[in-house]
Structure 1
Amino acid sequence: MNARRWTAGLLAAVATVALAGCTSAQGREKACTTTAEGIIECAADQRSAPPKLAGELLTGGTYDISEARGQVVVVNFWGSWCAPCRAEADDLEAVYQATKGSGVAFLGINVQDQRDKAKAFEEGRVTYPSLFDPASRLALDLDIPPNTVPATVVLDREGRVAVVIRAAVKQEGLQPIVERVAGEKPAPD
């Protein structure tokens, strides 16, 4: 329990620093807005460099998000111990099934969990892969890291953070966001 509190505190501190002034690592001001629902959205021409999200899959093998470049990637941070994570699992899977034909991939990142409990949680619920990150280190690689679990991050086709949702999602709220990011025109070279 102390590890969860420490990790949550660390993520909150990192998020506070990342959002202060909403500036990127290069000091350039980003056009990010926060909706009344707490959804953070960044303008396409102001998104920072793609995060490095890679590691061991929950079911074995490895995954590197750079291999999904060219696709919109919906990244969901979750834990089997998290009641809102259990509540949103069916909605995430429904959005995945509805959008995967449009060049959208989903990736779960399991945090603060035991592998056997995480695998049991996913079985029969979701068909997309999940990274196993019991120490919750991968969130720190995001320019605007999630600081709650569950959290969902939508990466554009260039791998940059487009949207951060720091709450459980429902299909009717998430699907239009994913479809909008998937419909964005690529940036000119």
Structure 2
Amino acid sequence: MPSLHGTRRMAVAVTVATAVAVSGCTASDSLADQYRSGTGQGYISGDGAYTVIAEADRGEPIEFSGVIENGDTVSSDDYRGEVLVVNFWYAACPPCRLEAPDLEALAQQFEPDGVTFLGVNIYDQAPTAVSFAKEFGVTYQSILDVNSGSVRLAFAGEVAPNAVPNTLVLDRQGRVAARISGLISEPSVLRSMISDALAEAP
């Protein structure tokens, strides 16, 4: 059983650690600066864990295809040569609902640069997905992956099969360059990831 003195020292240590953590979150640097100064893997308070993969360390291009809300089929070949942002979601997922407006705003911001956003809905049928898009003003397409699960399988190793939300940035070759696991509560991190992928040589 720890002594009273030891308990007090532990409490002080916890207090100091908490103060350091809080000061790190409230420093003048933006979350984007925290992301850029990191080692490539980290965690920002209030956000999901993120991973940035150097060009030399990226895996093979992701190959996938699926049916979107209007019944058309899209595939990874449609996006080669573009930076592609893939968001795994479903309509009843609370964080998915929270981040939808931010994702749409970023999609609009980067559209002139040739960046495409693509949703992957893991649970819903077309009417529910379309209703969600209307409610939150989402204009980009989503693959309905509920029946086959083939898109989730294509991204196996990059994102857990049932983990939502999850957002990945694919480079122009179709390789995963960065990902955020969980809610995007601060869009500046994803914005920086997209900008970095755009800045890479074609």
TM-score by length of 2: 0.71
Provide the residue aligned with 1:105 in structure 2.
116
Output one character per residue of 1:120-163: Cα deviation in whole Å (capped at 9) or x when no partner. Answer: 00125211111001144412212532222010010001110101
Q: Where does 1:159-170 land on structure 2 (aligned, <5 Å)?
A: 159-169=174-184, 170=186
Q: Structure 1 unaligned segments of length 5 or more: list them.
A: 1-31
Q: CA deviation at 1:36?
A: 2.4
164, 172, 187: which one pairs with 2:188?
172
Between the aligned partners of 1:60 and 1:47, the Cα distance in structure 2 is: 32
User: 1:36 aligned to 2:50?
Assistant: no
In percent, how many aligned pairs have the same letter? Answer: 36
Match of 1:157, as an amino acid?
Answer: R
2:152 pairs with one of 139, 147, 162: 139
Q: Is the 8 A contact 1:77 1:111 kept in 2?
A: yes
| Secondary structure class of the residue paired with 2:174 | coil
In the comparison of the two structures, how many residue pairs are matched? 155
Is contact 2:59–2:175 with CA below 8 Å preserved after alignment? yes
Normalised by the length of structure 1, the TM-score is 0.76
The answer to whether the 8 Å contact 1:81/1:113 transfers is: no
Higher Rg: 2
Q: Which residue of 2 aligns with 1:15?
A: none
User: Displacement of 1:44 after TM fit?
Assistant: 0.6
1:33 shift after superposition: 4.1
Unaligned runs of 5+ in 2: 1-38
- Once the two structures are superposed, the pairs formed by residues 23-102 of structure 1 within 5 Å of their partners are 33-37=40-44, 38-102=49-113
RMSD value, Cα: 1.7
